[in-house]
């Protein structure tokens, strides 16, 4: 009996020891924190201050976020508050494998493995910041599939120092007839009354057919410079983009030379245009639609000899051609062409083509969609 009792006590002691050991060895499960910004010692890890930077530079800063979850985290997209903040993204696995992401917002931007880093390198494009010499705060919002950290917002502060200002800061030449070219200018003035600056050069650095020049002048009692952009004739039809680099001398500053880039853009079009290129006419519109033929070269006049519709049933539409302030020979810078529906179209959709013929034999065309 004593032996049985002794064995029972021994088993109870072993079981008690096992339970105590098990209880002591239990670890508190780690709670995932999602994507955590890595910035030791920083009170605001989501914030970076670029401070004062020079206009024309492109500084960068990289934010790093650690995936503390046991599963991959997908960066769905990221949205900068302005075009001046240009992000580039990549994920770095715990073993060091780098995978570059996409900022085009077409599908997932990036997938960060467990224990991996999400790196977001943000460049500040000073050419996209219109207001210089003032504080600017830009943000980038991140959206992820993490249940813990579905959103993050990064902040960037910058002051872009500019010794001169160009007005306008971008030259938009608008529509330029291919045979004429165009000339526009921007006025450059010092940003400070106490810093001595000089414009020393202006030259085209991109854009086919673009030439630049400058001359000093006085504006409201202050020294200024007129920088001219001249676009040569004969360029290819379509959108056109270029830029002018203006060199600045400031002997009392560090560095003593600076540069300012002025974007230039235009759209090269035919010398004579027909607008709109496409018009809609609905059943309830009894007044019809109006097209305009316009000679874009200053002083040029044209004659419209005919305006006809094709690819549509006969007898449904009529057209009228009217010159605006014609000269003694019947020529005009502008012609109005009106298309009116004369009969029902029996419920069918019509995709008609308007062809306008000029006295020189040129033909202009536009689409008329009838619904």
Domain region containing 170: 164-269
Same domain, 236 and 251: yes
Residue 154 has a CB neighbour count (10 Å cut-off) of 23
CA distance 45 to 86: 19
Whether the model clears a pTM of 0.85, i.e. scores above it, the answer is no
Same domain, 258 and 309: no
Same domain, 113 and 79: yes
Q: What is the mean pLDDT of residues 260-283?
A: 94
25: pLDDT confidence band, cut at 50, 70 and 90?
very low
345: pLDDT confidence band, cut at 50, 70 and 90?
low
Burial of residue 39 (number of CB atoms within 10 Å: 0-12, 13-18, 19+): middle
- Of 198, 318, 208, the residue nearest 264 (C-alpha): 208
CA distance 190 to 235: 34
Same domain, 354 and 245: no
Residue 341 lies in a domain: yes
DSSP code, position 55: T
DSSP code, position 236: P
Same domain, 136 and 184: no
CA distance 58 to 210: 25
Cα–Cα distance list, 71 to 114, 286, 294 (Å): 5, 64, 63
Same domain, 116 and 177: no
- Of 56, 74, 316, the residue nearest 164 (C-alpha): 56
Same domain, 40 and 142: yes
Structurally, the chain folds into a number of domains equal to 3
CA distance 291 to 288: 10
Residue 94 lies in a domain: yes
341: pLDDT confidence band, cut at 50, 70 and 90?
confident
Contact present, 228 and 258 (Cβ < 8 Å):
no
Same domain, 297 and 211: no
What are the pLDDT digits (tens) for 287-317?
899 999 999 998 999 999 999 999 998 888 9
Same domain, 247 and 282: no
The CATH number of the domain holding residue 102 is 2.60.40.10
CA distance 360 to 300: 13
Among 140, 161, 182, the domain-final residue is 161
pLDDT of residue 110: 93
Q: What is the mean pLDDT of the chain?
A: 89
pLDDT of residue 28: 43
Task: Specify the range with the lowest mean pLDDT, choosing from 47-51, 207-211, 314-318, 366-370.
Answer: 314-318
What are the pLDDT digits (tens) for 157-208?
999 988 998 999 899 999 999 999 999 999 999 988 888 999 999 999 999 9
Among 124, 140, 161, the domain-final residue is 161
The CATH number of the domain holding residue 187 is 2.60.40.3450
Q: What is the mean pLDDT of residues 132-157?
A: 95
pLDDT of residue 296: 94
pLDDT of residue 59: 95
pLDDT of residue 347: 67
In this predicted structure, the answer to whether residue 78 has a pLDDT above a threshold of 60 is yes
Contact present, 295 and 262 (Cβ < 8 Å):
no
Q: What is the mean pLDDT of residues 340-366?
A: 89
Task: Specify the range with the lowest mean pLDDT, choosing from 127-136, 202-211, 232-241, 268-277.
Answer: 127-136
Q: Tell which wins on pLDDT, 104 or 139.
A: 139
pLDDT of residue 94: 94
Residue 100: strand pairing partners: 90
Among 229, 251, 269, the domain-final residue is 269
Same domain, 192 and 300: no
In this predicted structure, the answer to whether residue 5 has a pLDDT above a threshold of 60 is no
Separation of CA 211 from chain center? 26
């Amino acid at each position: 009996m004593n032996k049985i009792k002794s064995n029972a006590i021994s088993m109870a002691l072993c079981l008690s020891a096992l339970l105590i050991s098990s209880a002591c060895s239990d670890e508190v499960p780690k709670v995932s924190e999602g994507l955590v910004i890595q910035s030791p010692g920083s009170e605001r890890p989501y914030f970076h201050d670029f401070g004062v930077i020079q206009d024309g530079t492109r500084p960068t800063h990289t934010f790093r976020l650690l995936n503390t979850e046991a599963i991959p985290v997908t960066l769905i997209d990221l949205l900068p508050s302005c075009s001046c903040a240009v992000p580039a993204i990549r994920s770095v696995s715990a073993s060091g494998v780098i995978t570059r992401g996409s900022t085009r917002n077409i599908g997932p931007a990036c997938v960060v493995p467990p224990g991996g880093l999400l790196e977001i390198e943000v460049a500040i494009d000073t050419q996209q910041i219109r207001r210089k010499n003032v504080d600017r705060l830009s943000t980038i919002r991140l959206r992820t599939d993490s249940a813990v950290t579905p959103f993050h917002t990064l902040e960037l502060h910058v002051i872009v120092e500019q010794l001169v200002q160009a007005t306008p800061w971008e030259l938009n030449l608008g529509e330029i007839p291919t045979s004429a070219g165009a000339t526009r200018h921007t006025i450059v003035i010092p940003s400070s009354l106490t810093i001595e600056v000089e414009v020393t050069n202006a030259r085209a650095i991109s854009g086919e057919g673009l030439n630049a020049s400058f001359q000093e002048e006085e504006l409201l009692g202050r020294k200024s410079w007129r920088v001219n952009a001249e676009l040569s004739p004969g360029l290819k039809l379509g959108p056109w983009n270029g830029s002018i680099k203006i060199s600045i001398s400031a002997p009392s500053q560090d560095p003593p030379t600076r540069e300012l880039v002025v974007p230039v853009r235009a759209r090269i079009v035919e010398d004579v245009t027909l607008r709109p290129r496409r018009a809609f006419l609905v059943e309830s519109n009894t007044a019809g639609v109006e097209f305009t033929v316009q000679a874009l070269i200053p002083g040029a006049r044209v004659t419209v000899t005919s305006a006809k519709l094709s690819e549509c049933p006969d007898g449904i539409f009529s057209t009228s051609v009217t010159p605006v302030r014609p000269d003694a020979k019947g020529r005009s810078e502008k012609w109005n062409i009106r298309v009116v529906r004369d009969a029902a179209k029996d419920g069918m959709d019509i995709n008609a083509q308007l062809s306008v013929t000029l006295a020189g034999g040129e033909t202009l065309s536009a689409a008329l969609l009838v619904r």
